[in-house]
Chain A
Amino acid sequence: MTSVDATPEATRRPFGGRRVRFGDIGLQLIAGGAALAVTILVVLIVWKVVQGAKPAIEKYGLSFITTVAWNPVIGRELYGAGSFLFGTAVTSIFALILATPLAIGIALFLTELAPKAIRAPITALVETLAAIPSVVIGLWGILVLGPILRTTIEPWLHDVLGFIPLFGPPSEAGASVFTAGIVLTIMILPIVSSISRELFLGVPSDLKEGALALGTTRWEMVRGVMIPYSSGGIAAALILGLGRALGEAIAVTQVIGGSVSIQWNLFATGDSLASKIAASYQGATSNLEASSLIYLGVILLVFSLVANILAQWIVRRTARKHGIVRGGHA
């Protein structure tokens, strides 16, 4: 009894006490060191990747971004990110356009419509979709999905909507920007839908019930209450999904075909920033080509950093607006 009362101050407040505990300091230093190391790692990644791209950055500067060329022939070397940026933009935006309504529909189904008994299993199944490795989706994309799209869907879309430049004649190669877009849709769908689902679960039930009590239909309640309430979070989810789509290398490399050009035809082959890097893994012909490839990585890194920070900023701002810390409302 008395021994417990001997140093009450130090016992209650481990840091404010009079006694210095070396164990506390030691663990804090080791654990804090690990946290510091992770922070340094992120800085190191940015620094090292930029450094690797330096020869290309010095030679081409910002004009690299708009140059549509990838010519490794010695003497006529010219590299630029233009067509890959275009390919990245087209495939990612295409995936986002397809995935957004689907993901919101899935999230609404899982929170509002599905019978209680199947909610948990369906949620688990949708999340399982995210666990499939990109190389396996790519394998399926190139050997199963690609041929189906080329022989049926693409010719049909070309016949019906061929007057729009997006739906040009299908490529002979069996690979296309269109296939890459579908594959990316499959890959970002589980991310966007599971974040949207969490957001919808967080909509206060008194707001939802209030709307229903005013005589709205379920859809009007969703449109008037749930979507506006979670719109900030959904925007963040879409940005995260976009970040994932931008950075996906393997599956896109497998199905997109690889070509250097800017064309509006979705059924032609193309290349994205990430897929160009992945496709060149067996080596570059020159140091300039290697550093140009890393320059593509720098652009990708900038995109992913911007997307991430933007998404976090939106999440924090929305959380503040709703007066809750994300996930912290009881």
Chain B
Amino acid sequence: MSASGLTAPGFHSKGMRRRRVVNFVMELLAWGAAAIAVGVLAVVVFAVARRGWSALNTDLLTKPPIPFSTAPQGLANAFAGTIVIVGIATLMALPIGILVAVYVNEFAPASIRNGVTMVLDILNGIPAIVIGIFVYGLLVVGSGQSGFKGAFALAILMLPFVARSTMEVLALVPNSLREASLGLGIPHWRTTLSIVLPQTIGGIVTGTVLAVARVAGETAPLLFTSSLVGNQTSWNPTQPLQTVPVAIFELSESPDPADHARAWAAAFILLMFILVTSLTARWLANRSRSKIAGR
């Protein structure tokens, strides 16, 4: 006797073999899809690293660009501008983002909570280039570009991100902690500020770092707000400042291979900064998340 009596009818039939082949092919395709995604990441990072590394030198960080010159050129103005603009954007977005999250999580009734969450999602979905046009129309028309206006545009992009990540960590704080504090007679506002928020510091920091990593590479909102610049290195945000992504964008459209080399080098530094910060932040987030939840 064969084992056929123990198995489902049709187990050894042609139909079953066909079904298994289909299953095998589909599993293979899923493996292939994952391989393509990882492969594309590897190809892009490798391309940037190979070309960027060979073009990398200290002149890039210390010297400004000098058009129509054979002297060593850098992008010092772009690095300075990115530091200033991203720094100001963070200072603008962080407090407001945290306050929005506190309101939504600690005070708002459910209907308003859903409304604000939806507004944050909508803001998050508005294309960066439209944010650029908005700030252009609101602040730039008539008075010109400046680093502050670029930072304002970036802050709008950071805001939903910071608020959402703060909301996520606030939701992880156990309710028993709030109840214990309120039960001791501590007012709601003090409970929020001195008991609940300190629990989330780690999460807020990692959320902010991820937001910084995200906007440090944003080009579109800066094109209309802080892109028409000179070549001197400036730290003054009342003037338009060059930034790394805008510099890469402009250099990539140039026909000159020397410009391409500088674009690759700048892209390499930008990419390394973004990858290192976002991977570290993610790792820290996982750690602090399990810490809060475990308490």
Task: Verify if B161 is at the interface (C-beta below 8 Å from A).
Answer: no
Contacts A135-B245, A220-B19 supplied; 17 other A-B pairs, CB < 8 Å? A4-B185, A11-B183, A23-B188, A30-B99, A31-B107, A52-B136, A105-B29, A132-B45, A135-B219, A136-B44, A139-B252, A219-B22, A247-B130, A249-B127, A250-B220, A293-B133, A300-B130
A157 to chain B, nearest CB (A): 18
Are A42 and B37 also in contact (CB < 8 A) when A109-B30, A128-B278, A133-B270 are? no
Task: Verify if B88 is at the interface (C-beta below 8 Å from A).
Answer: no
Give the CA-CA distance A144 to B51 in the complex, in Å.
11
A36 to chain B, nearest CB (A): 9
Contact A138 B252 (CB under 8 A): yes
Contact B100 A38 (CB under 8 A): yes
Contact B217 A136 (CB under 8 A): yes
A144 to chain B, nearest CB (A): 5
Main secondary structure on chain A at its contact with chain B?
Answer: helix
Map CB proximity to B onto A88-124 as digits: 1 under 8 Å, 0 otherwise: 0000000000000111111011101110000000101
Give the CA-CA distance A297 to B132 in the complex, in Å.
10
Interface residues in B4-35 by Cβ distance below 8 A to A read: 8, 19-20, 22-23, 26-27, 29-34
Are A140 and B30 also in contact (CB < 8 A) when A125-B37, A131-B275 are? no
Contact A136 B189 (CB under 8 A): no
Chain A residue nearest to B222 in the complex (CB): A281
Chain A residues, Cβ within 8 Å of B119: 38-39, 42
B138 to chain A, nearest CB (A): 5
Are A21 and B189 also in contact (CB < 8 A) when A133-B218, A133-B245, A217-B23 are? yes
Segment of A70-78, A201-209, A259-267, A301-309 in the binding face: A301-309
Give the CA-CA distance A142 to B126 in the complex, in Å.
26
Chain A residue nearest to B221 in the complex (CB): A249
Task: Verify if A173 is at the interface (C-beta below 8 Å from B).
Answer: no
Contact A48 B137 (CB under 8 A): yes
B35 to chain A, nearest CB (A): 9
Main secondary structure on chain B at its contact with chain A?
Answer: helix
Residue contacts A-B, CB under 8 angstroms, 29 given: A4-B185, A14-B188, A28-B189, A31-B106, A32-B107, A34-B96, A34-B99, A35-B104, A38-B160, A45-B123, A45-B156, A49-B133, A105-B30, A105-B33, A106-B33, A108-B30, A109-B30, A124-B279, A127-B282, A128-B278, A132-B217, A139-B252, A222-B26, A247-B126, A247-B129, A249-B219, A250-B219, A305-B126, A308-B122
User: Which residue from A31, A139, A293, A294 sits with its C-beta under 8 Å from B267?
Assistant: A139
Task: Verify if A312 is at the interface (C-beta below 8 Å from B).
Answer: yes
Chain A residues, Cβ within 8 Å of B292: none
Chain A residue nearest to B41 in the complex (CB): A129
Map CB proximity to A onto B171-189 as digits: 1 under 8 Å, 0 otherwise: 0000000000011110111
Give the CA-CA distance A125 to B253 in the complex, in Å.
29
Task: Verify if B214 is at the interface (C-beta below 8 Å from A).
Answer: yes
| A interface with B by C-beta (< 8 Å) | 4, 7, 11-12, 14-15, 21, 23-24, 26-28, 30-35, 37-39, 41-42, 44-45, 48-49, 51-52, 101-106, 108-110, 112-114, 122, 124-129, 131-140, 142-144, 186, 189-190, 193, 215, 217-220, 222, 240, 243, 246-250, 254, 274, 277-278, 281-282, 293-294, 297, 300-301, 304-305, 307-309, 312
| B interface with A by C-beta (< 8 Å) | 8, 19-20, 22-23, 26-27, 29-34, 36-38, 40-41, 44-45, 47-48, 96, 99-100, 102-104, 106-108, 112, 115-116, 118-123, 125-131, 133-134, 136-138, 141, 156, 159-160, 163, 182-185, 187-190, 192-193, 213-214, 216-220, 223-224, 227-228, 245, 248-249, 252-253, 260, 263-264, 267, 270-271, 274-275, 278-279, 282
Contact A122 B19 (CB under 8 A): no
Contact B125 A300 (CB under 8 A): no
